[in-house]
A and B are shown apart, each in its own frame.
Chain A
Amino acid sequence: MLESASCHELEVLLADRGPQLLRTAVLLAGSQHDGEDMLQTALERVVRRRRVDGDLEAYLRRVIYNLAADGWRRRGAWNRKLPLVRASQPDAVPDVASAVDLRDALIRTLRQLPPQQRTVIVLRYWEQLSEAETARVLGCTKGTVKAAASRGLKRMRELSESWLTSNAGLAGR
């Protein structure tokens, strides 16, 4: 288990960078609760190590990204089905405030992507990592990152297509 000194380092890191790390975890996991859970699990994995060589934040981030790409608690399939279940409920009244916001719609489509695609999209467009950096932290090739990002964005576009056509006027930034 990580020594007390390193745990103190981890606490300092969390005090400084915690909010940013939590935001990333929430985007990757799809909800506030799951994001907190993911961050907690990532911390446990870091604590499990005897020592961390090099940048602690980089290591913690890598653990979070890999948890997400591995299909955080295998919820991917369920998350993809959930909107369909909700849509089929006759009493489900759409939230007008969120329905008019394309960005909310896009975040919902992000949650429906397979774990690897979602992770790549978050790393590329939220963390602003290059394809090479994303490939390095996820331990895959640049080609895999490129393909996952392309498929992910394509799927997001498809999923939000109907919304885009019916709200073309509202889609502007």
Chain B
Amino acid sequence: MDTEFEELVADSMRRQAVAVAIPPGLTGMVQRARRRERQRQFAIRGVVGATVAVGTAAAAVALTAGPRPAQPGPARAETAAYVLRRTEKALAGPAARTIEYDRETSHREKPAPRTAFPPGGVAIWYYGELTRLESYAANGKAINAQVLRIGPRTFTETTVNFGPRTWWRITGPVKRNYVKLPARKCGSPFNMTNPSAIRQALSCGLYVLAGRQHVDGIDAIKLAPGPLITHEHVLPGYNVIWVSPATYLPVRIRSYHAEGSRSWIQEDFRWLPATKVNLAAFHLSVAGFRKVKGPGGTVGVVTVSG
């Protein structure tokens, strides 16, 4: 490199430097730096404190999902927008090709009324137009199982009742309703039960990043309701979502009945590959069960758009 050009570069920088405006009160930058550092430290303490508190609560409600290896979290800082975008993408892409297994349990402050949620919770499998639903008694025994195939115009439902050992199969028309929610009410229904409902809730931008927490062996990313939910009551209750840092698919959703409530419904998810073995869940064997007349009626499918 010729020295003349180097000298020209050095001279250019000298001239540029002279043109730099020196703002008054440059020393004030130190106090500003101290203030910002204090705020940063408070923010860190807040996140750590919240994570520890909720972590203890989660440990008390260990659920049926099997052990999975812990996954190291990404080193870089994540923003809520980034996590939500990845989760939405995962729900639209990989999740659509897998069987969603969702184990729901209810946790109440007071004893549940007799007509409420099955005492032992429910397990739901979703895959395309197929749904399998199993209800459990308080002792963990299955009460009944239902497989539902919802086509464009008709549905078929097969139900097996394990107590009286009966079964029925019914078919009927599908009644579709399309509901467009007002702009502000863009949240999901209270209990989110399928990828499109979860996607919808996330798209609304109502969640904020709330640190990391161990859920079922995964160092999950926690998404909590933002100010829109807590202050403007967009939803009847509110949800807290934990997503996997590896797949960005939800691993747990907890739906609180109301702000400040200690009652909630918890959904623990597994995303299963659509293998022959896993798809067998949608085949309900009725051998050894007595056929009875099932209830008539229609299946209503409500499509909610924000």
Q: Which of B5, B17, B20 is close to A153, meaning CB atoms less than 8 Å apart?
A: B5
Q: Is B27 an interface residue (CB 8 A)?
A: yes
Query: Chain B nearest CB: distance from A57 CB in Å?
Result: 13
Instruction: Decide: A27 and B13 in contact? CB cutoff 8 A.
Output: yes
Q: Is B6 an interface residue (CB 8 A)?
A: yes
Instruction: Decide: A43 and B27 in contact? CB cutoff 8 A.
Output: no
A interface, by DSSP: helix, strand, loop or mixed? Answer: helix
Q: Is B9 an interface residue (CB 8 A)?
A: yes
Instruction: Decide: A103 and B26 in contact? CB cutoff 8 A.
Output: no
Report how far A156 CA is from B7 CA in the complex, Å: 13
Q: Which of A40, A47, A153 is close to B1, meaning CB atoms less than 8 Å apart?
A: A153
Take A11-B27, A47-B37 as given contacts and tell me if A22 and B22 are in contact as well, using a CB distance cutoff of 8 Å: yes
Instruction: Decide: B30 and A156 in contact? CB cutoff 8 A.
Output: no
Tell me the number of A-to-B contacts counted with CB atoms below 8 Å: 97
Residue of A nearest to B23 (CB): A36
Q: Is B110 an interface residue (CB 8 A)?
A: no
Count of chain A residues near B, Cβ 8 A:
42
Q: Is A138 an interface residue (CB 8 A)?
A: no
Q: Is B285 an interface residue (CB 8 A)?
A: no
Residues of A contacting B26 in the complex (Cβ-Cβ under 8 angstroms): 14-15, 18-19, 22
Q: Which of B7, B11, B26 has the most CB of A within 10 A?
A: B26
Q: Is B16 an interface residue (CB 8 A)?
A: yes
Within 8 A of B (CB), among A102-124: 102-104, 106-107, 110, 121-122
B interface, by DSSP: helix, strand, loop or mixed? Answer: helix
Q: Which of A2, A26, A103, A122 is close to B8, meaning CB atoms less than 8 Å apart?
A: A103
Q: Which interface class (under 10, 10 to 19, 20 to 34, 35 or more) fits B?
A: 20 to 34
Q: Is B36 an interface residue (CB 8 A)?
A: yes
Q: Is B153 an interface residue (CB 8 A)?
A: no
Chain B 149-185: CB-based contact to A (< 8 A → 1; otherwise 0):
0000000000000000000000000000000000000
Report how far A117 CA is from B20 CA in the complex, Å: 22
Instruction: Decide: B5 and A157 in contact? CB cutoff 8 A.
Output: yes
Q: Is B64 an interface residue (CB 8 A)?
A: no
Q: Which of B10, B31, B33, B34 is close to A125, meaning CB atoms less than 8 Å apart?
A: B10
Q: Which residues of B are interface residues toward A (Cβ below 8 A)?
A: 1, 5-17, 20-23, 26-27, 29-34, 36-38, 41
27 sample A-B contacts, Cβ–Cβ < 8 Å, listed by A number? A1-B37, A1-B41, A14-B29, A14-B30, A15-B26, A18-B29, A19-B20, A22-B22, A22-B26, A27-B16, A27-B17, A40-B29, A40-B32, A44-B36, A47-B34, A103-B12, A103-B15, A103-B16, A106-B12, A107-B13, A121-B9, A125-B9, A125-B13, A150-B1, A153-B9, A157-B5, A171-B8
Ranked 6 nearest A-B pairs via Cβ: A103-B12, A18-B26, A43-B33, A125-B10, A23-B17, A106-B12
